[in-house]
Structures are given as structure tokens and as C-alpha cells.
Amino acid sequence: NSLFKIEKLSKVFEDGTKALDDVSLTINQHEVTIIIGPSGSGKSTLLRTLNLMEYPTEGTIEFEGKNILNPNYDVYEHRKHVGMVFQNFNLFPHLTILENLTLAQVDVLKRDKSEAISKAMTLLEKVGLAEKINNYPNQLSGGQQQRVAILRALLMDPTAILFDEPTSALDPEMIKEVLLLMKDLIQTGITMIIVTHEMGFARHFADKIVVMDKGGKIIEEGHPSVIFNE
Ligand code: ADP
Ligand code: ADP
């Protein structure tokens, strides 16, 4: 069952840089799709088009059968269903960990504050960060901040989460704890689309690997056993 249907996507930036070139890709529900490729091959741009942080110059993107590039499409609503985790965590620096995890639940999803807090606490306890609720992001390690950022995305009950190099800013020990949490998320059946250089993770956990190359083209696509020729 396809969640995203991407057809003939191209993106040329104003300075003439071609970031995507005729990209077609189907992303299935409940699958882990991992996008790999050298720096500058358009991985991040492709990911960003999926939550409309970037608009393609040509092509179509359907989400749950709807054309998300239609000018009348509700971007705000879309982002409730498609969460994003960034390389640099992007927590609100002036809010505590608990506030970071409850703000959007209350403001966007209109949850009661007590319900929002209880959902946040449940997840924080699972990842062992419950004692950090009153700390500010800069008082946590990078790995802890990224795990909070992942929980923040998860608390919106999204259909899919996009990960843009979620471990690239982290030291090796912290990479492990973030990948461990991402493995746990896979078990929940949430659709995950991940740009990463973690080849071990990709080999073991991807349902589909998409290989991009210079000029923003997909050069190969398939199950890890095919991509890694095993
Ligand atoms: P990757 O994620 O694979 O490293 P990106 O999608 O970030 O690649 O970038 C693809 C190409 O588009 C690169 O050449 C990059 O320099 C260029 N690019 C990205 N964002 C912009 C922008 N806002 N304006 C101009 N060029 C950009
Ligand atoms: P890049 O050079 O693009 O950063 P690497 O090939 O160095 O990517 O892999 C990134 C991470 O994945 C490293 O932590 C590395 O130890 C791990 N890794 C790479 N290849 C494998 C593999 N075949 N099995 C398990 N882990 C791997």
C-alpha cells in the first residue's frame, strides 16, 4: 500500500543548481525507506519536498492519494501527519524538555495539558530521560537531545517520520543510542524515510534502499540484499 507516490520530480534552485532530476519513487506504508548517496546528490532536497519545506520545479507528489502540490492543499495539516527529525535536533532552546514535548501536542493537536504531559512522560521514561524534564536542551548531550527530538515527532502520532541525517552531528556512542531508539520505532510500524550514512543500519533495517548520485538522480533502488549484492 503506497503512502507517497513521487513521479518525475525535478528541482532546480534559483541559482541554477539541479538538486533533483526526474526522480520517481513509491514509498510504502509501514516500511523503512533509506536514502543514501554522496553529499550534494539531492537526498535532503528530496526528503524536504515530502513535508513541503521545498517545492519541486516539476513532477508530482501524492500522499494518501492526494496531490500535495496543489495550491489548495493544507500544508499545516500535512505536517501533522508527516513529522521531521533534523541533523541538529532543532529543539526550542528557551523551553525545557517537557515544554518541548508538550507545546505542539497542546497547540496543534489541542490535547489537554495533563494528557500531553502524561504522554510525554511515558515516552521519556521508556528512553530513560524522565529526570531531564526540567532541563533545557543545551544541558543534554547531543544524543539525548536527538532522542527528545524523535519523541517530539512521535507524540504527534504521525503517519510517517522523515529523518534527515539524524546521527551525523553525533559522537559514536551517541549514534548508537539514537539508532537503538529508531530500531524501536520500526517495531511500531510507523513509516520511516531516512537519509543517513549509517550503512550498517541501512543494511539491517531498510525495507528499501534508494541510492542517489550526483545531479539528483536515483541510480538504484531495492531491498538491501539486492543493493549490497548479498
Ligand atoms: P544531499 O542531501 O544529498 O547532500 P542536498 O539535497 O542538500 O544534497 O543538495 C543537492 C544540491 O542542491 C547540492 O548541490 C546543494 O548544494 C544544492 N542546494 C541545496 N539547497 C540549495 C539552495 N537553497 N539553493 C541552491 N542550491 C541548493
Ligand atoms: P560514511 O563513510 O558514509 O559515513 P560508513 O560506511 O563509514 O559511512 O558507515 C557509517 C557507519 O556504519 C559506521 O559507524 C560504520 O561502522 C557502520 N558500518 C558501515 N558498514 C557496516 C557494515 N557492513 N556492517 C555494520 N556496520 C557498518
163: helix, strand or coil: strand
Per-residue model confidence (pLDDT) at position 230: 76
Contact predicate 32/189, CB 8 Å: no
Give mean pLDDT, residues 94-120: 98
Q: Give the tens place of pLDDT for each residue, 38-86.
A: 999 999 999 999 999 999 999 999 999 999 999 999 999 999 999 999 9
Q: In this structure, what DSSP letter does residue 3 have?
A: E
Nearest-Å Rg of the Cα atoms of the chain is 18
Spell out a b/e string for 149-188, using b for 16 or more CB atoms within 10 Å of the CB, else e. bbbbbbbbebbbbbbbbbbebbeeebbebbbebbeebeee
Per-residue model confidence (pLDDT) at position 47: 98
Give mean pLDDT, residues 107-118: 97
Q: Assess whether pLDDT exceeds 90 at residue 19.
A: yes
Per-residue model confidence (pLDDT) at position 189: 94
Band (pLDDT 50/70/90 cuts) for residue 127 is: very high
| 163 Cα distance to chain centroid | 3
Per-residue model confidence (pLDDT) at position 123: 97
Residues with CB under 6 A from ligand 1: 13, 15, 17, 19, 37, 39-45
Instruction: For ligand 2, pick from 34, 183, 199 the residue to mutate: most ligand atoms within 8 Å of CB.
Output: 199
Per-residue model confidence (pLDDT) at position 229: 84
For ligand 1, atom 14, the nearest C-alpha belongs to 40
Q: Give the tens place of pLDDT for each residue, 148-205.
A: 999 999 999 999 999 999 999 999 999 999 999 999 999 999 999 999 999 999 999 9
pTM of the predicted structure, to 2 decimals: 0.89
Q: Distance, CA 62 to ligand 1 centroid (Å)?
A: 23
Reference 168, options 90, 87, 48; nearest CA is 87
- Strands laid side by side in the 82-85 sheet: 82-85, 160-164, 191-195, 32-36, 208-213, 217-222
Report the percentage of the chain scoring pLDDT > 90. Answer: 98
